[in-house]
Amino acid sequence: MTLEIQKPRPIWQIMFSTHHTDVGLLYLITSLAALFMGGTLALAIRLELFLPGSQFISDSMTFNRMFTVHGTTLIFLFILPFASAVGNYFVPIMVRYKDMAYPKLNAIAYWMIPPAFALIWLGFADFTWNAYAPYSVTRAPGPAADMWIFGLKLLGISSILGAINFIVTILKCKHPDLPLSKIPLLAWSYLTSSLIMLVAMPTFAAALLMLLTDRLGLSGFFNPAMGGDPIAYQHLFWFTFHPEVYVLVIPAIGFMYDIIPRFSRKPIFSHVSGIAAFVLLSIVGFASWAHHMYATGMSFTEKTVFMIGTLSAVPASAMHVFNFLATMWGGRIKFATPMMWAVGGIALFFSAGAGGVVNSAMPLDFMTHDSYWVVGHFHLFVMGTIAFGSFGFLYYIFPYVTGRMYNEKLGKIHFVMSFIGTIMVFFTQHILGLYGMPRRVFDYPPIPEWIAMNQFITIGAMIIGVGMVIFLINIVYSSGKGKEADMGDPWGVGGEKYYYPYQSKTPHH
């Protein structure tokens, strides 16, 4: 069997292709580039915070720009494109169609990302990834802020086009013999997350335009000096970006739904409960956005409503955890690299969710809000759950994408270092938050506990960093020189052969 990638082709044939695996490969390479660029910024931020005072970053403006671009890059240029990459590779296969529904639209959606990437990195804005008004309207310096706005605008359009494509592919192009209830949970995760994206994203798209005209002085939607309301921006922002959290996390859960049964050598405990949890999460996900805004002076009633909305998202997530554990229960588990990432991701998903219940409880939120607790909390989701699921799935699809095996030992070392590092960094950040350290600070007063915890966190971050270098070496080396993979069953888990290359070559496809 010859994979697409193993046919000798000039690079431009891949770049200007509209075939779903080629676009998927482009998404994949872009997202990995963003991972290493954004990760480098994270390590620089951690080095700077190793001690109070200025270490090697001379001014706070540079620091502020770094954490802004760090967040923007890893959310919009790593996590989302990675999910699109996997979706491009597998959603058509899973619904048994020859390509995405609109191949050209698919390529267009991808090609909006590189210009956005360039705008964000060349601009290097400083107003945090939230771009809260009125700072972003009246104070944020120069072209950087406008370039960020245009970059995000492009990414928003790209996400909407991608979401439409996934929805149409799944609903309209699936094989007629395949009922919707039987398509794999990974495809279900793309269906639900794309629907969330389609409903949520236009709100932020509108807010970005309003922000831009405000900055140009043409309007005053969010500028109190012109009668606007800065809190309105926060509502528009979080109406998009709280559901967006589920857009990010749902595909990662979908990855785990593929890895866990495969390496537990058991079918998934309950397909129906997985679907139900996805659908439930995509609905209640829209009821909690203002829990990011308890401290903006909301009334007691508003806070209560959004606390209830937030807590009601928990059972759906808890159902996924149950489903994973029940699948593993009594299975003959093979802890190959993808399985280690998936299991580690589930453990951290549970921890992050437990911390989230604390945030949502109103009186406790005022201890944790905008402190390092919050940084630790959402990083447990984006790193601990989403990135872990993504790395696991990257190892899982590696034979399919390259036709070769990665080095299993290095993959496991990558996992162990990342797992230890993640716990050191983000659990400690929770405690640091309880000690009162605010987030987004360039410098901090020399309080002994703060210094000790910051140093511990920086060491953890360096452990993750070394693990990522090992990861990079592993995938670069293995994709060229790794040994040929057994495409029917690359890990030797045996049993029913449902690894994708096998599936994609079966006659009914």
Partner 1 sequence: MSEHSSWPEWIYVGVVVALLIYVGAEAWNIERIIEHIPSDAEIIQVTGQQWFWTFEHEDGTKEIGELHLKKDHAYKFEVVSKDVIHSFNIHDYVVLVDAVPGRVNTVWFSPDESGEFDIQCREYCGLIHYNMRAKLYVEDAS
Q: Which positions touch partner 1 (CB under 8 A)?
A: 60-61, 64, 126-128, 130, 132, 134-135, 138-139, 181, 224-225, 229-231, 269-273, 295-297, 300, 303-304, 307-308, 311-312, 314-315, 318-319, 322-323, 326, 357, 360-364, 366-367, 369-371, 436, 438-445
For residues 509 and 507, what is the distance between their CA atoms, to the nearest angstrom?
A: 5
Contacts of 472 (CB under 8 A, 6+ apart): 36
Cβ neighbour number for residue 98 with a 10 Å cutoff: 11
What would the two tokens of residue 380 be?
């447990």
Minimum CB–partner distance for residue 301 and partner 1 (Å): 11
φ, ψ for residue 187, nearest 5 deg: -65, -35
Give the pair of three-digit tokens for residue 486.
């057994």
Token code pair at residue 373: 């607790």
Q: Is 73 exposed, middle or buried (0-12, 13-18, 19+ CB in 10 A)?
A: buried
Give the nearest distance from C-beta 177 to partner 1 in angstroms: 17
Q: How far is the CB of 330 from partner 1 (least distance, A)?
A: 11
Choose between 8 and 227: whose C-beta lies nearer to partner 1: 227
Contact 203, 236 (CB under 8 A): yes
Judged by CB, which is closer to partner 1: 207, or 307? 307
Please enumerate in sequence order all residues whose Cβ is within 8 A of that of 109, keeping only pairs 6 or more positions apart, or say none.
84, 158, 159, 161, 162, 165
- CB atoms near residue 307 (< 10 Å): 19
- Closer by beta carbon to partner 1, 165 or else 327: 327
- For partner 1, give the closer residue by CB, 168 or 358: 358
User: Whole-number minimum distance, CB 260 to partner 1, in Å?
Assistant: 16
Q: Considering the complex, what minimum distance in angstroms separates the CB of residue 345 from partner 1?
A: 20
Q: If DSSP codes are grouped into helix, strand and coil, which group holds residue 385?
A: helix
Min separation Cβ 250 and partner 1, Å? 19
Q: Is 367 or 469 the residue whose CB approaches partner 1 more closely?
A: 367
Closer to partner 1 by CB, 10 or 297: give it: 297
Q: Which is nearer to partner 1, 142 or 488 (CB)?
A: 142
**CB of residue 500 to partner 1, shortest distance in Å:** 21
Q: How far is the CB of 224 from partner 1 (least distance, A)?
A: 4
Half-sphere exposure of 229 (CA within 13 A, CB side): 7
Q: How far is the CB of 77 from partner 1 (least distance, A)?
A: 21
Rg (CA), the chain: 22
DSSP state letters, 238-281: HHHHHHHHHHHHHHHHHHHHHHHHHHHTS--S-HHHHHHHHHHH
- What end-to-end distance do the CA atoms of the chain give, in Å? 15
Kindly tell me the sign of the dihedral angle through the C-alpha atoms of 491, 494, 499, 504: positive
Q: Which is nearer to partner 1, 139 or 505 (CB)?
A: 139
105 or 362: whose CB is closer to partner 1?
362
